[in-house]
């Protein structure tokens, strides 16, 4: 079982907004979530998609990590050849991840849309968003 480094746990503790009313997550649950995300990321690096999904299922309260969890689930489902489900997770992640990760989320999303035999134009539009050439299509059915 892989655990995050002490540095990652300390950073999670430092970034935990203590006393903030908008955060309805306890400190121990927050740290447990960070550990599970780190563990799932390690399984993803080892290309073990079923273990990623099992690990992420154990997260009861995603808190501020919902987009990262959706991204990891989508990538794991993509590795497991469940492209339709992966596209839904990656669409959620592409909407909500920080800007520096949007291109990667849209890249994986366009691959899933292409593989799931959806209309070719939808795959091209999604790939265009990834490349920065097109705005997000308003009719994109996965983005709803």
Q: What is the pLDDT of residues 108-122, one digit of tens each?
A: 887 887 787 656 666
CA–CA dist 30, 50 (Å, integer): 23
> Distance between CA atoms of 52 and 55, rounded to whole angstroms?
5
Q: For the chain, which domains are there?
A: 6-143 (1.25.40.10)
Write the pLDDT tens digit of every residue in 8-29.
Answer: 544 444 444 443 433 556 888 8
Q: Which of 140, 108, 142, 144 is nearest to 127 (CA)?
A: 108
pLDDT band at 42 (very low <50, low <70, confident <90, very high): very high
Region 72-89: what's the mean pLDDT?
A: 91
* Residues with Cβ within 8 Å of residue 142, at least 6 apart in sequence: 87, 88, 90, 91, 109, 113
Give the 3-state secondary structure of residue 136.
coil
Which helix H or strand E contains 10, and what residues bound it?
helix 6-15
pLDDT for the residue 15: 43
Task: Of 24-33, 70-79, 84-93, give the lowest mean pLDDT range.
Answer: 24-33
**Closest among 88, 94, 109, 31 to 63, alpha carbons compared:** 31
60-97 b/e (C-beta count within 10 Å ≥ 16 → b): eebbebebbbbbbbbbbbbeeebbebbbbbbbbbbeeb
Question: Are 84 and 116 spatial neighbours (Cβ–Cβ below 8 Å)?
Answer: yes
pTM: 0.69
The size of the chain, in residues, is: 144
pLDDT tens digits for 96-110? 888 888 888 888 887
Q: Give the chain's mean pLDDT.
A: 76
């Amino acid at each position: 079982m892989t655990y995050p480094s002490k540095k990652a746990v300390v950073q999670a503790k430092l970034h935990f907004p203590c006393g903030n009313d908008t955060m309805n997550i306890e400190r121990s649950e927050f740290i447990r979530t960070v550990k599970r995300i780190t563990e799932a990321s390690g399984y993803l690096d080892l290309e073990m998609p079923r273990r990623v999904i099992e690990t992420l299922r154990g997260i009861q309260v995603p808190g501020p990590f919902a987009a990262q969890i959706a991204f990891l689930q989508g990538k794991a489902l993509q590795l497991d050849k469940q492209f339709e489900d992966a596209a839904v997770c990656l669409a959620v992640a592409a909407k909500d991840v920080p800007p520096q990760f949007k291109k990667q989320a849209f890249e994986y999303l366009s691959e899933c849309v292409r593989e799931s035999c959806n209309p070719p134009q939808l795959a091209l539009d999604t790939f265009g968003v990834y490349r920065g050439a097109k705005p997000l299509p308003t009719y994109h059915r996965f983005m709803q």
